[in-house]
């Protein structure tokens, strides 16, 4: 029995729709912008910028502080008796209050001046009060290299509770970061600086006073040591929004789009300056076209393209080799292979195999073809295992028949060849049981003579 070739089938392989890929980003990565793109105050413009890593003695001398009160003499009073509200509270000199008002701090005048909490490990706290409100807090380090030296200070900006908190670099004493706070909670811009004084990052925050917490709000942007942008992100009341960019070594690395804190729109990745992949996202789920690229022997090429529906592969997938030639087409349904898969020969462009999948597993008949497009194998599959009859074919004729059960040879195996006159004949037969030879076997020469027989 002769079988037809599949040469003509290649022309009927499904092809991707160009309309699905019109939104493809550039294949080459854009260069990273230089600088933050937003203004940041110079590092030395911040108040008390020269206090970093100074000792307690140096700070007191510089700020003309004479005999600060011990911190244990400071207590908290209130404009309203028993009130715990921050706006009603003020600091008082406890010792003075006891003498004047017998400990009734609510009727005592707010304290103005300095207090010192001195510790043996060097982690001193120097605080300045202005009419009972904290105006400045200077904190000293306690580690081996920072012991007794200024590492942080917090300064009040106004009477509404706005503050700035400054951290100093323990190596050079310069400002490393400045945070804006409201009643002690991050609120407003935050700046960080490199050792040379260049502004490295700007972040936006928003205080949520009821929860005593903060959330990101506004632009977040950073640069690397060479001054190239590292990333730029956008938040609105704690939620991701807009276009996000990240960069690496001066070139674009990734683009993401967000809407209401969920990934939405184009998502593209670059590697070594070339497009690596891109796809569309809808409400945090991949939805729509997807393209994947590879680099081989210095050549950048499209490796595969397919589509997603509700976060799962759905529809046709096309795969290509580095020469741009199609080598495989597979159909997917809700994330699993389902339907026909076509494999194509790199040398000839003809179909080399056709496989049927159901729910992600090989099922039914699988056909394989030689380099001329002629049928060479017919196999049957069940649940990803070979199961049932198989046939090997040469020049359009069956030369071997075999049977499988659960991926093991099982049953009669027959081999055929040509006799001395060129006619097809049985050349051998044997029986297999669960992958092992079992039962009788025979073999014949080209003239039809029996040359072996036996049993296992």
Q: What is the tens place of the pLDDT at every residue in 281-294?
A: 999 999 999 999 99
- Judge whether residue 9 has pLDDT over 60: no
Q: How large is the average pLDDT for residues 199-212?
A: 96
Percent of the chain exceeding pLDDT 70 equals: 94
Cα–Cα distance between 311 and 110 in angstroms, integer?
62
Residue-level pLDDT at 1: 45
**From the CB of residue 77, how many other CB atoms can be counted at a distance below 10 Å?**
23
pLDDT-derived band of residue 13, with 50, 70 and 90 as boundaries? confident
Q: What is the tens place of the pLDDT at every residue in 344-396?
A: 888 888 889 999 999 999 999 999 998 888 899 999 999 889 999 999 998 88
Q: What is the tens place of the pLDDT at every residue in 387-420?
A: 999 999 988 889 999 999 999 999 999 999 998 8
- Give the bridge partners for 397, in sequence order: 394
Over its C-alpha atoms, the chain yields an Rg (Å, rounded) of 39
Which token pair is 349?
A: 């462009």
Report long-range pairs for 196-199 (Cβ below 8 Å, ≥24 apart): 197/42, 197/43, 197/44, 198/223, 198/227, 199/36, 199/40, 199/43
SS (HEC) of 298-316: CEEEEEEEEEEECCEECEE
Residue-level pLDDT at 90: 86
Cα–Cα distance between 258 and 380 in angstroms, integer?
47
- Judge whether residue 214 has pLDDT over 60: yes
**Annotated domain spans of the chain:** 374-456
- Give the bridge partners for 313, in sequence order: 308
Q: What is the tens place of the pLDDT at every residue in 49-91?
A: 999 999 999 999 999 999 999 999 998 887 777 666 767 788 8
Higher pLDDT, 197 or 1: 197
Q: What is the tens place of the pLDDT at every residue in 34-49?
A: 999 999 999 999 999 9
pLDDT-derived band of residue 439, with 50, 70 and 90 as boundaries? confident
């Amino acid at each position: 029995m002769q079988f037809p070739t599949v040469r003509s089938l290649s022309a009927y392989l499904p092809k991707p729709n160009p309309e699905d890929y019109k939104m493809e980003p550039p294949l080459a990565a854009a260069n990273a912008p230089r600088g933050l793109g937003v203004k940041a105050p110079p590092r030395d413009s911040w108040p008390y910028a020269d206090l970093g890593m100074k000792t307690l003695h140096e700070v007191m001398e510089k700020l003309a502080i004479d005999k600060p009160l011990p911190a244990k003499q400071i207590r908290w009073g209130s404009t309203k008796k028993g009130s715990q509200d921050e706006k009603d509270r003020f600091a008082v000199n406890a010792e003075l209050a006891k003498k004047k008002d017998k400990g009734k701090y609510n009727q005592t005048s707010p304290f103005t001046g300095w207090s010192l909490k001195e510790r043996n490990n060097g982690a001193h706290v120097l605080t300045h009060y202005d009419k009972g409100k904290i105006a400045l807090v200077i904190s000293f380090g306690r580690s081996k290299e920072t012991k007794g030296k200024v590492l942080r200070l917090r300064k009040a900006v106004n009477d509404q509770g706005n503050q700035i908190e400054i951290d100093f670099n323990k190596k050079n004493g310069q400002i490393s970061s400045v945070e804006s706070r409201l009643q002690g909670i991050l609120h407003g811009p935050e700046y960080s600086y490199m050792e040379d004084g260049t502004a490295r990052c700007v972040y936006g925050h928003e205080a949520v006073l009821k929860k005593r917490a903060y959330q990101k709000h506004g632009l977040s942007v950073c640069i690397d040591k060479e001054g190239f942008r590292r990333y730029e992100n956008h938040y609105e009341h704690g939620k991701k929004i807009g276009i996000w960019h990240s960069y690496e070594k001066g070139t674009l690395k990734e683009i993401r789009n967000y809407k209401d804190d969920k990934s939405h729109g184009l998502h593209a990745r670059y590697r070594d300056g070339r497009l690596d992949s891109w796809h569309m996202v809808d409400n945090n789920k991949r939805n729509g076209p997807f393209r994947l690229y590879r680099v081989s022997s210095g050549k950048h090429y499209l490796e595969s393209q397919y589509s997603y529906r509700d976060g799962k592969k759905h529809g046709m997938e096309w795969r290509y080799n580095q020469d741009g030639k199609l080598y495989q087409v597979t159909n997917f349904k809700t994330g699993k292979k389902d339907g026909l898969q076509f494999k194509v020969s790199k040398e000839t462009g003809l179909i080399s195999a056709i496989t049927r999948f159901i729910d992600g597993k090989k099922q039914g008949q699988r056909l394989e073809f030689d380099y001329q497009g002629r049928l060479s194998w017919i196999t049957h599959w069940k649940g990803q295992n070979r199961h049932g009859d198989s046939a090997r074919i040469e020049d359009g004729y069956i030369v071997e028949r075999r049977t499988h059960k659960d991926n093991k040879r099982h049953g009669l195996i027959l081999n055929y060849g040509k006799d001395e006159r060129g006619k097809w004949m049985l050349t051998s037969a044997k029986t297999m049981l669960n992958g092992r030879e079992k039962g009788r076997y025979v073999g014949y020469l080209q003239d039809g003579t029996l040359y072996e027989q036996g049993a296992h």
